[in-house]
Amino acid sequence: LEGPRSHDATGGGSSEAAFVQVLEGLTRAQDDADHAIELLVKGEPVDMHQVMISVEMTDIAFRLAVQLRNKLVRAYEEIMRMQV
Protein backbone atom coordinates (compact mmCIF):
# COMPACT_ATOMS: atom_id res chain seq x y z
CA LEU A 1 0.00 0.00 0.00
CA GLU A 2 1.47 3.29 -1.05
CA GLY A 3 0.88 6.43 0.97
CA PRO A 4 -0.34 9.72 -0.42
CA ARG A 5 2.51 10.80 -2.69
CA SER A 6 0.85 12.36 -5.70
CA HIS A 7 1.95 15.85 -6.65
CA ASP A 8 0.64 18.19 -9.28
CA ALA A 9 2.84 19.96 -11.82
CA THR A 10 3.62 22.81 -9.38
CA GLY A 11 5.12 20.41 -6.85
CA GLY A 12 2.31 20.65 -4.28
CA GLY A 13 0.24 17.68 -3.17
CA SER A 14 -3.35 17.17 -4.14
CA SER A 15 -5.60 16.17 -1.24
CA GLU A 16 -8.19 14.72 -3.59
CA ALA A 17 -5.63 12.62 -5.44
CA ALA A 18 -4.13 11.44 -2.14
CA PHE A 19 -7.54 10.42 -0.83
CA VAL A 20 -8.38 8.58 -4.05
CA GLN A 21 -5.02 6.79 -3.93
CA VAL A 22 -5.59 5.71 -0.32
CA LEU A 23 -9.09 4.45 -1.16
CA GLU A 24 -7.76 2.49 -4.14
CA GLY A 25 -5.09 0.96 -1.91
CA LEU A 26 -7.75 0.06 0.65
CA THR A 27 -9.86 -1.60 -2.03
CA ARG A 28 -6.88 -3.63 -3.28
CA ALA A 29 -5.98 -4.68 0.27
CA GLN A 30 -9.56 -5.75 0.98
CA ASP A 31 -9.72 -7.74 -2.26
CA ASP A 32 -6.43 -9.49 -1.44
CA ALA A 33 -7.57 -10.34 2.09
CA ASP A 34 -10.96 -11.57 0.85
CA HIS A 35 -9.30 -13.81 -1.73
CA ALA A 36 -6.85 -15.23 0.81
CA ILE A 37 -9.65 -15.93 3.31
CA GLU A 38 -11.77 -17.53 0.59
CA LEU A 39 -8.92 -19.89 -0.34
CA LEU A 40 -8.40 -20.76 3.32
CA VAL A 41 -12.09 -21.51 3.85
CA LYS A 42 -12.19 -23.71 0.74
CA GLY A 43 -9.36 -25.76 2.19
CA GLU A 44 -6.93 -24.91 -0.58
CA PRO A 45 -3.22 -24.84 0.23
CA VAL A 46 -2.53 -21.33 1.44
CA ASP A 47 0.04 -19.97 3.86
CA MET A 48 -1.76 -18.98 7.06
CA HIS A 49 0.84 -16.28 7.67
CA GLN A 50 0.03 -14.71 4.29
CA VAL A 51 -3.67 -14.68 5.17
CA MET A 52 -2.97 -12.92 8.47
CA ILE A 53 -0.63 -10.44 6.77
CA SER A 54 -3.31 -9.64 4.19
CA VAL A 55 -5.89 -9.04 6.92
CA GLU A 56 -3.49 -6.82 8.87
CA MET A 57 -2.60 -4.82 5.74
CA THR A 58 -6.31 -4.23 5.19
CA ASP A 59 -6.63 -3.00 8.77
CA ILE A 60 -3.69 -0.63 8.33
CA ALA A 61 -5.07 0.69 5.03
CA PHE A 62 -8.47 1.27 6.66
CA ARG A 63 -6.90 3.16 9.57
CA LEU A 64 -4.94 5.30 7.11
CA ALA A 65 -8.14 6.12 5.19
CA VAL A 66 -9.92 7.07 8.43
CA GLN A 67 -7.05 9.31 9.53
CA LEU A 68 -6.95 11.04 6.15
CA ARG A 69 -10.71 11.55 6.26
CA ASN A 70 -10.40 13.02 9.77
CA LYS A 71 -7.75 15.46 8.58
CA LEU A 72 -9.91 16.52 5.63
CA VAL A 73 -12.92 17.05 7.91
CA ARG A 74 -10.83 19.14 10.34
CA ALA A 75 -9.51 21.24 7.46
CA TYR A 76 -13.05 21.78 6.16
CA GLU A 77 -14.28 22.75 9.64
CA GLU A 78 -11.39 25.20 10.00
CA ILE A 79 -12.24 26.80 6.65
CA MET A 80 -15.90 27.07 7.65
CA ARG A 81 -14.90 28.91 10.88
CA MET A 82 -13.00 31.56 8.92
CA GLN A 83 -14.65 34.93 8.79
CA VAL A 84 -14.88 36.48 5.36
How do residues 6-40 score in pLDDT, each as one tens digit? 444 444 467 778 778 888 888 999 999 999 999 99
For residue 41, is it within any domain?
Answer: yes
For residue 75, is it within any domain?
Answer: yes
Amino acid symbol at 9? A
pLDDT of the residue at 14: 75
The confidence band for 2, taking pLDDT boundaries of 50, 70 and 90, is low
How many domains are there within the chain?
A: 1
For residue 60, is it within any domain?
Answer: yes
Residue 23 and residue 66: Cα distance in Å, rounded? 10
Round the CA-based radius of gyration of the chain to a whole number and report it: 17
The phi and psi torsions of 7 (rounded to 5 degrees) equal -130, 145
pLDDT of the residue at 1: 53
For residue 4, is it within any domain?
Answer: no
Residues near 57 by Cβ (< 8 Å), separated by ≥ 6? 1, 29, 32, 33
pLDDT of the residue at 8: 47
Model confidence pTM above 0.85: no
